[in-house]
Every structure is written in structure tokens, then in C-alpha cells.
């Protein structure tokens, strides 16, 4: 790897809380149905030990945090008190660089079925600045099929609570392409979500993943032509409502041409090939060492029992990303975005020279999947075309 090219990107923190009330049949995340009381105190203690080990191993004490994302599972099963304790201890580890004026984004995922009226307020007081609410659908029959524990009224109420909680913004997660879903069903779901006026919408197609209940017993999903219609008409509906698409499945609400940015800063750091620590059961991380000229990936112990064993190190796997893997890994993230990138940015984030990826970019350009905005391949702005976003998997395969 050409070390001088590699620069240190922003550093985010992902915190995984693995428990949920029930395991959804489509979910392939590392989540475990709760069989007893949540071990909040023990788990927070284990998370901080995990964080301390990473900070020491990768010498991160002087790097500022860009964002924090608490995901799961269902993090809203934790009390506001436990979340506050966790965040205070996390931020104290970065005290040289942290102050309230830095205004970093702190997101917490929530399930409408695990929320009471005062819980969102408590999370906001604990330091959470952004909520991400897993609604998935506003149709009772679809919620039942998806194994969700909340009902339609609870989903709408959760959005109302988010508005009133004191957090700076909130996201609604919504799926389309659900079992037996029609075009009208999908658009009605989207209209309901829009009426709730979230600052951000994540709208994505249900996919059947290995090692899920849906994979062993696949439901009947809409035909491809219906899926295309759902996407085309859904994108128009979102645009007309003032939602700007900035990533394949992410839309931010633009109010009165305001510069107030409602994009998810944490996810943007992923997609721009930034760094992130991953702590918690099965959490993944990516860390750049520009001095050594390497990028490493981490995976933590997956099962809660093993992770909570203080006699074991939380780190399960550590590997260095090879030069052959880096072009695809960079593009797999960057090409999801609707904004452009430069080859200089590619070089800074991977440490590789432009020639390692330029021939493939030119090949993709010939297929009209990507375009160079000013016809200068080396110094120009590269951007995925509408055709490239529609056939993103085909575009990404070129970089394998």
C-alpha cells in the first residue's frame, strides 16, 4: 500500500445492543429474543471495557468522535438511565476532543412497541440527538406478517412522541416489497409516513436473507414489475413532499430551502469509507492506521453469554483489508450515494493510486452506469447515473 496517500478519516462509534422482544422473520442481524430481564448494568460495563480495549489497541485516545449510533436488536429496551450512563462513560474516553459545542450526532434505534410517553424524553435528556424508529409498515396485516410487536396506532404515536421529545431529528424506517403488497398498499404506507413529517425517511425493499425464517419458508413477494412501479412512484411521491434522496434508501426532508442538514451523519461516514469502532455483541469495526498504511476490520464476540464473560477478550476477529479488496470495499459504500466523489478522495481513503480503479470506472462509464462530470478522469467528479443506481449490483460487480 502506498502509505503517503492514506489519510485518517473521521471516526464514528457503533454500539450494538443485541436483545429484542421477538426475532423478526426477515431479520439477519445479530439479535436475540429476550428471555429474562435485560442485564443493563453488566452490559454497559462490558461495552466500556470493549471500548477501552479498542482505544488502547488502535491508539485512538486523541481522535475525536464524529458520531455515535446505538443499534440492535432493540436499544429502546434499555432504560434512559442506562443509556445516559453509557454515553457519559463513552464521551469521557474522548474528553480531550469532546464538548457540547461539537454537537455530534447520537442516534438511538427504537421500536414503537417498546416506547412509553416519557422514554423518548429520557433518551433526549441522556444525550441522544436523533431517534430512528423501526415502523416498517402502517398496515396491520403486514406488521403481523413481519413479526412486528407494535400496531399501527403505536407507530403513529411513536412519531408524535419523537416530535415532542426534544431530540433534534428523527427517522422512520419503512419497508416496501412486502408479502402480497400491491402498489396502492406501498404508496399508502409511504403517504402515512410522510404525513407524520419525520426529518428523515429510510425507505427500502424487503430482501430475503440467509439464516432467517423467511429464507426457510419464503413468503410470496410482489413481482418485479410491481416492485419497479412501487419504486418509481414512491420516489416521485417523496420528492413532491420535499424529501431529497441522497442515498439509495435514504431521504432527508428539506424545509423552505433550509441549509439545516437532516442527513444521517453516521451513515454518511460509513458510505464515504470513514472509520468506525464497533462495540457490543457481534459488532463490526473499521480502523485506518495511516502511519502503518493499513486498514483493519474487527468483529466482536457474537453471543451475549460469551461477550459478558469478563475472562474473555471481546475481540473475536481482526484482519487487515488487502489491496485487492479495497477498490470494491470503497465503491460498495461510495456508490450508494447520490453525491459525487473524486479519485483524490479514493486515494486518501484507500491508500491506493488512481490507476487501481480508473480502468473499471472507464468501463462503467462506457456502460452509462457512471459519469465523469467534467470529462477529466483524474481530477473530475465521478457520479453514478440514474441507470447505475437502478442497476447498482451490476455496477458493483465490475469492481470485484
Predicted local confidence at residue 396, as pLDDT = 97
Mean pLDDT calculated for residue range 289-310? 96
Determine the 3-state secondary structure of 287 from DSSP: strand
CA 288 from centre of chain:
19
Mean pLDDT of the chain: 93
Q: Which residues contact 199 (CB under 8 A, 6 or more apart)?
A: 169, 170, 171, 252, 253, 262
Per-residue confidence at 2, pLDDT binned at 50, 70, 90?
Answer: very low
111-152 residue pLDDT tens? 998 776 579 999 999 999 999 999 999 999 999 999 999 999
Per-residue confidence at 95, pLDDT binned at 50, 70, 90?
Answer: confident
Q: How far apart are CA 241 and CA 227, in angstroms?
A: 21
State yes or no: pLDDT of 294 exceeds 90.
yes
151-195 residue pLDDT tens? 999 999 999 999 999 999 999 999 999 999 999 999 999 999 999
State yes or no: pLDDT of 377 exceeds 90.
no
Domains along the chain? 3-268 (3.20.20.70), 323-400 (1.10.10.920)
Determine the 3-state secondary structure of 146 from DSSP: coil
Cis peptide before 42 (omega within 30 of 0): no
The candidate with the shortest Cα–Cα distance to 336, out of 259, 270, 253, 241, is: 270
* Residue 59 CB coordination number (10 Å): 11
Helix axes 80-92, 40-58, angle to 10 degrees: 20
CA 230 to each of CA 47, 90, 225, 246, 329: distance values in angstroms, whole numbers, following the listed order: 41, 42, 9, 19, 29
Predicted local confidence at residue 182, as pLDDT = 96
Q: Which residues contact 223 (CB under 8 A, 6 or more apart)?
A: none
- In the structure grid, which three cell numbers stand for residue 37, read together? 430481564
Mean pLDDT calculated for residue range 288-304? 96
Q: Which of 88-97, 250-259, 320-329 has the highest mean pLDDT?
A: 320-329
The candidate with the shortest Cα–Cα distance to 328, out of 372, 273, 286, is: 273
Picking from 36-50, 249-263, 301-315, 321-335, which range would have the lowest pLDDT averaged per residue? 249-263
Amino acid at each position: 500500500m502506498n502509505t503517503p496517500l492514506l489519510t485518517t478519516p473521521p471516526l464514528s462509534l457503533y454500539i450494538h445492543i443485541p436483545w429484542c422482544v421477538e426475532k423478526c422473520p426477515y431479520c439477519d442481524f445479530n439479535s436475540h429474543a429476550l428471555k429474562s430481564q435485560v442485564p443493563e448494568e453488566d452490559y454497559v460495563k462490558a461495552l466500556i471495557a470493549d471500548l477501552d480495549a479498542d482505544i488502547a489497541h488502535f491508539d485512538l485516545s486523541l481522535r475525536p468522535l464524529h458520531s455515535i449510533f446505538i443499534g440492535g436488536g432493540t436499544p429502546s429496551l434499555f432504560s434512559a438511565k442506562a443509556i445516559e450512563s453509557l454515553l457519559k462513560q463513552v464521551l469521557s474516553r474522548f474528553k480531550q476532543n469532546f464538548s457540547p459545542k461539537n454537537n455530534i450526532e447520537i442516534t438511538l434505534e427504537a421500536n414503537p412497541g417498546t416506547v412509553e410517553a416519557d422514554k423518548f424524553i429520557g433518551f433526549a435528556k441522556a444525550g441522544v440527538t436523533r431517534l430512528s424508529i423501526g415502523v416498517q409498515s402502517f398496515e396491520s396485516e403486514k406488521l403481523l406478517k413481519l413479526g412486528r410487536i407494535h400496531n399501527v396506532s403505536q407507530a403513529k404515536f411513536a412519531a408524535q412522541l419523537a416530535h415532542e421529545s426534544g431530540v433534534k431529528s428523527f427517522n422512520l424506517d419503512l419497508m416496501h416489497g412486502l408479502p402480497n403488497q400491491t402498489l396502492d398498499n406501498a404508496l399508502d404506507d409511504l403517504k402515512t409516513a410522510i404525513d407524520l413529517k419525520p426529518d428523515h425517511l429510510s425507505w427500502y425493499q424487503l430482501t430475503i436473507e440467509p439464516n432467517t425464517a423467511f429464507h426457510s419458508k419464503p413468503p410470496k413477494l410482489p413481482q418485479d414489475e410491481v416492485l419497479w412501479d412501487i419504486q418509481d412512484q414512491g420516489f416521485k411521491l417523496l420528492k413532491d413532499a420535499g424529501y431529497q434522496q441522497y442515498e439509495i434508501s435514504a431521504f432527508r426532508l428539506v424545509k423552505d430551502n433550509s441549509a439545516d442538514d437532516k442527513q444521517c451523519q453516521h451513515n454518511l461516514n460509513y458510505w464515504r469509507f470513514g472509520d468506525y469502532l464497533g462495540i457490543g455483541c457481534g459488532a463490526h469495526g473499521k480502523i485506518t492506521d495511516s502511519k502503518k498504511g493499513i486498514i483493519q476490520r474487527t468483529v466482536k464476540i457474537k453471543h451475549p453469554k460469551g461477550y459478558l464473560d469478563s475472562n474473555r477478550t471481546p475481540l473475536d476477529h481482526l484482519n487487515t483489508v488487502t489491496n485487492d479488496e479495497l477498490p470494491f470495499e470503497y465503491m460498495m459504500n461510495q456508490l450508494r450515494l447520490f453525491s459525487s466523489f473524486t479519485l483524490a478522495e479514493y486515494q486518501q481513503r484507500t491508500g491506493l493510486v488512481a490507476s487501481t480503479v480508473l480502468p473499471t470506472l472507464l468501463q462503467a462509464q462506457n456502460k452509462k452506469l457512471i459519469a465523469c462530470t467534467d470529462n477529466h478522469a483524474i481530477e473530475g467528479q465521478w457520479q453514478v447515473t440514474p441507470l447505475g443506481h437502478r442497476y447498482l449490483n451490476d455496477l458493483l460487480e465490475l469492481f470485484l
